[in-house]
Chain A
């Protein structure tokens, strides 16, 4: 090893040590370039996240918003939650990126460059709700294992790309097709090249929906690195883990996809409901598909103190997986009475909907504003934490903010 190489390597190692994590693009780092992280060693600067975002775990990176940060109609990158299962891909080059489609139920194996995908297929733009299956996990009792999400692992950004069905049809889908599984360029935490951090997907029916995209852009720009640049599968209304990031291979399967985090208790709940704390056998666990009806009060921030007699404008978003929200209500008396909110239609299927209400408080005191959505099938949000499950998924209990009239 020559002196220069030694210095280069040791410098990188020193920087890596100081950051407490590895520099994934270390090898591609230009000479003399001091990574941003070293100047300001935090993921907020690296990935352009707002300083109010909350890091639950920095390896793998998991970061959520607070309710009031999600007030925008379309979630900007700075407030979008991050759920990584592994480490960021080592190298990403959009010019040489290839998407390969194969599998038992593919008529042929075929590869496309990003340029081919962009030019060959028509592009569509949709606002799509992505919520982590474990959003709200922190409320389960007994506690469920995993990142302890509160309320902020949800987003609704504007995604632009091509329809997954158009590409699958171009490859050719056999009648035996059951599932589409994804593979991606991210790296397992152990750096074991034989392991994938996550390789999930969707049943063929979801894959064929008009809104299921292979996306290049988020909010009109290239997808941010942390959210899946250069290619992301986006399956709105389903656990966000179905929307794989950094996609480089899709398999059209003739059975349920069996990639990493498809089996065991990952993104699964007991097929039949169980009492809290019950041990459930793996063969009794069923894959989560559509996410349940839910809502979030994004304005005002919890903790507002008002002078007596004042009106309070509240607003927020509501979503219901594959369904639409048809009724939105609020309560300021712990559910004793409910008052309807104004509710907007979604801009497209699978986009979250906006609600608002003007609340007058009768007298001084401590209040909680509770929000409750009802979907097109008549399902409403529960007031208490719903059915316990071993991994703490699908907590859609009503959101609450605290208000004081002084």
Chain B
């Protein structure tokens, strides 16, 4: 093989290697951008945007536990440990009560549903529930919300 040919071959391999590096970097960048886009919620599909507005406004800066849906905050673990043995977390998270209301519910479960004494955990759980699952004023009838508009065709 002549010298110029060798030189050309070497040059081609170098270009090839550089191309591989560039492509790999581009791929990593693309994956990174995709994930940050998803995380910002811009890539949410319509199914997720169906969440009630109430939840959305609540969720600003509030993290939810992926397994139970509970708001991640002090008292969550005590609540999971004591309140999801017989029924699902959803029975808790779909309800809104005052501290007094949550306490009455706990007492009712202790009297008739075999719930144990909560001991030192009781004030922790009550504080958690009455903070993150408190009633909101709804008025006598709320406006229609979360309407998914679609073009009507017969």
A: which residues have CB within 8 A of B?
Answer: 55-60, 139, 141-143, 145-148, 189-190, 192, 195, 300-306, 310, 312-313, 368, 383-385, 397, 400-402, 404
Question: A73 to nearest B CB, angstroms?
Answer: 20
Query: Is B42 on the interface with A (CB-CB < 8 A)?
Result: no
Known: A139-B138, A143-B95, A145-B105. A57 touches B88 (CB 8 A): yes
In angstroms, how far is the closest chain A Cβ from the Cβ of B97? 7
From known contacts A189-B113, A312-B152, infer whether A143 and B96 are also in contact, taking CB-CB under 8 Å.
yes
Q: Which residues of B contact A139 (CB under 8 A)?
A: 138, 141-142
A384 to chain B, nearest CB (A): 5
- A293 CA / B149 CA spacing, docked (Å): 29
Least CB separation from B105: chain A residue = A145
CB distance from B140 to the nearest CB of A (A): 5
Which chain B residue has the least Cβ–Cβ distance from A301? B150
Our count of residue pairs bridging A and B at CB distance below 8 angstroms stands at 75
Cβ of A143 and Cβ of B87 under 8 Å apart? Answer: no
- The residue in chain B whose Cβ has the minimal distance to the Cβ of A306 is B152
88-128 of chain B: CB within 8 A of chain A: 88, 90-91, 94-97, 101, 105, 113-114
Q: How many residues of B contact A (CB 8 A)?
A: 28
Report the separation of the CA atoms of residues A313 and B97 in the bound assembly, to the nearest whole angstrom: 41
Interface pair A145/B88, CB less than 8 Å apart? no
> Using an 8 Å CB-CB cutoff, how does the interface string of B130-141 with A read, 1 for contact, 0 for none?
000001011111
- CA distance in complex: A150, B104 (Å): 24
Q: B147's contact among A192, A312, A313, A402, by CB below 8 Å, is which?
A: A402
B1 within 8 A of A: no
- Name the A residues within 8 Å of B141 (CB-CB): 139, 383-385, 397
A275 vs B123: C-alpha distance when bound (angstroms): 30
B149 touches A59 (CB 8 A): no
Neighbouring B residues of A368 by C-beta, 8 Å: 144
Docked-complex contact B135 and A305, CB < 8 angstroms: no
Question: Contact between A385 and B114 (Cβ–Cβ < 8 Å)?
Answer: no
Contacts of A55 in B (CB 8 A): 90
Taken together as a complex, chains A and B put the C-alpha atoms of A152 and B14 apart, in Å, by: 66
Report the separation of the CA atoms of residues A91 and B30 in the bound assembly, to the nearest whole angstrom: 53
Q: Which residues of B contact A190 (CB under 8 A)?
A: 86, 113-114
Please, could you name 17 A-B residue pairs with CB atoms under 8 Å apart, sorted by A?
Answer: A55-B90, A57-B90, A59-B87, A139-B138, A139-B142, A141-B138, A143-B96, A145-B97, A189-B87, A190-B86, A302-B147, A303-B147, A304-B152, A305-B149, A306-B152, A312-B152, A385-B141
**Mask: chain B, 143-154; 1 = CB below 8 Å from A; 0 = not:** 010011111101
A381–B93 alpha-carbon span in the complex (Å): 30
CA distance A60 to B149 in the complex (A): 33
Q: For residue A192, which residues in chain B have a CB less than 8 angstroms away from its CB?
A: 114
